[in-house]
Amino acid sequence: MSTAHVLLGLLAGGPRHGYDLKRAHDERLPRAKPLAYGQVYATLSRLERDGFVAESGQDRDGGPDRTSYELTDEGRGHLAAWLAAVDPPAPYVNSEIFNKVTVALLAAGIEQARDYLVAQRAAHMGRMRELTMAKSAPGASLGDVIAADYAIGHLEADLRWLQTTLARVAAMTTELPKDVTT
């Protein structure tokens, strides 16, 4: 996720302070890692430097001065271009699960890989149950539902791979040599 682009998107609705942007991020992207205030202000600084946002005013709401930021025309154009750009599928397989199974097969053998696959499958199933419950919880927002759907889709794909790999590993009759590199 590009924090800068998310902040630009949040500013598309009108000027906001850094505190408001952090709160809006955490509310609108409920399953994303919460932003740190320092990250918000550092990103706003870079966006201002690049001409994508500009200060729109300052006020004091019972505390320190708060600077509001708004999108510039250049910022709107940059946001529109980012939203229109199609993200290419990942060119490489780089997953902790894939790496662990491969290393287990190479270094520890079939049994270790099988045990890991079974345990990982159980963990994925548990997480899917949690997400399914979160989607149907009273008061679940649209953001909660679409974030859960996205995560469930990824978990389902992982589960298909885990099941297929478990079947392949179970069908293996001999240990892989420890010097195999492919």
Instruction: Determine the pLDDT at residue 178.
Output: 53
Give me the residue label for tokens 């997480």.
127
Long-range contacts of 72-75 (CB under 8 A, 24+ apart): 75/8, 75/11, 75/47, 75/51
Tokens describing residue 74: 């250049």
Say if residues 11 and 69 touch (Cβ distance below 8 Å): yes
Give me the residue label for tokens 């859960």.
148
Q: Rounded distance, CA 50 to CA 181, Å?
A: 46
Give the count of alpha carbons within 13 A of 120, CB side only.
Answer: 23
Say if residues 162 and 121 touch (Cβ distance below 8 Å): yes
Instruction: Determine the pLDDT at residue 56.
Output: 87
Instruction: Determine the pLDDT at residue 26.
Output: 86
Q: For each successive 10 residues of the chain (182 residues), what is the average pLDDT?
A: 87 91 86 86 95 87 79 94 78 75 79 88 94 91 88 92 90 59 46
Q: Rounded distance, CA 113 to CA 79, Å?
A: 44
pTM assigned to the model:
0.65
Residue among 74, 23, 66 nearest 48 (CA): 74
Instruction: Determine the pLDDT at residue 128.
Output: 94
Say if residues 6 and 29 touch (Cβ distance below 8 Å): yes
